[in-house]
């Protein structure tokens, strides 16, 4: 799993550098007190990507007893490895995107989790259909592992801001606690994760290329920063990866890599009816 995740990190960085054309990912190796460490790779102020992170970690040790009881497995000993990607583009016409795949061992249980989702600032149905189409095809290719309808629904439930009555974005796939205590099953799911991880570029790059050249106004940039505020709210209040990292003594700088470089919170920010901004909210609102 260590080898798989490291290779995935390298492939994703190479593909995103090719998309950006200017920026390059730095490399920050770190060690975790208590066991393990990782490699944080961040690209800042590229031509397309304002901030992009592709993180690898392999950590081990003991969970706090209360937290250990909240997840499958026995005892407190654990090992976890994974790759997490967050992309914040300069242009408000290019969506933010996230992907994460992880493997955990906790006592007598082993499982995978992960997924990918798209967070646009302006809604385009063809972008949503392309993004979902890639994940649907990957799940169908591994139909003994993937369940696109169920994982799509789980994604919509998970990436939800209940205090806003909004989904964070237009979804994708999400799964967790996919148990793989059998060795053959673990190998098969690992094969799926390797394929799905690389499919992230297929899902995102064509959308970014389609939107890069759209002119940007100051008002659109301001709207992007308001919507980025929603992204921050979700990651700090509800995201399981953030919670897991902070509660297991993870490296704070790497965990909070997911946050955008600029965001804002106004007061009573409501777009005018009939505007593209209002159209996005109609797509994201629930209930």
Determine the Cα–Cα distance for residues 81 and 85; give it in Å rounded to an integer.
14
Q: Report helix, strand or coil for 16.
A: helix
Task: Report the candidate in 72, 85, 77, 141 with the shortest Cα–Cα distance to residue 112.
Answer: 72
Taking a C-beta distance cutoff of 8 angstroms, is the pair 206, 95 a contact? no
Task: Given the residues 90, 93, 98, 124, select the one marked as catalytic.
Answer: 98
The answer to whether 90 is a known catalytic residue is: no
The half-sphere exposure of 58 on its side-chain side, counting CA atoms within 13 A, is 8
**Which backbone phi and psi does 253 adopt, to 5 degrees?**
-60, -40
Calpha distance 151→177 (Å, rounded): 12
Helix 2-20 × helix 183-211 angle, to 10°: 10
Active site residues: 98
């Amino acid at each position: 799993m260590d080898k798989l995740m490291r290779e995935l990190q390298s492939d994703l960085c190479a593909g995103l550098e090719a998309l950006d054309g200017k920026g390059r990912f730095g490399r920050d190796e770190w060690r975790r007190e208590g066991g393990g460490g990782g490699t944080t790779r961040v690209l800042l102020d590229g031509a397309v990507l304002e901030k992009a992170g592709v993180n690898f970690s392999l950590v081990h040790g003991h969970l706090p007893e209360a937290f250990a009881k909240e997840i499958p497995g026995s005892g407190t000993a654990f090992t976890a490895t994974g790759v997490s990607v967050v992309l914040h583009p300069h242009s408000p016409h290019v969506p933010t995107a996230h992907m994460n795949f992880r493997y955990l061992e906790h006592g007598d249980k082993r499982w995978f989790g992960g997924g990918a989702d798209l967070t646009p600032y302006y809604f385009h149905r063809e972008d949503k259909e392309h993004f979902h189409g890639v994940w649907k095809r990957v799940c169908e290719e591994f139909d003994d592992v993937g369940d696109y309808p169920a994982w799509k629904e789980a994604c919509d439930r998970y990436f939800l801001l209940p205090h806003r009555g909004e989904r964070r974005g237009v979804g994708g796939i999400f799964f967790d606690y996919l148990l793989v205590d059998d060795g053959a099953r673990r190998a098969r799911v690992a094969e799926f994760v390797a394929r799905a991880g690389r499919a992230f570029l297929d899902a995102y790059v064509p959308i970014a290329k389609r939107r890069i050249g759209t002119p940007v106004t100051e008002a659109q940039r301001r709207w992007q920063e308001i919507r980025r505020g929603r992204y921050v709210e979700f990651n700090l209040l509800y995201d399981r990866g953030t919670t897991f990292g902070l509660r297991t003594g993870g490296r704070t700088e790497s965990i909070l890599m997911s946050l955008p470089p600029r965001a804002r919170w106004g007061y009573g920010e409501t777009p005018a009816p009939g505007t593209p901004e209002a159209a996005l909210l109609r797509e994201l609102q629930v209930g």
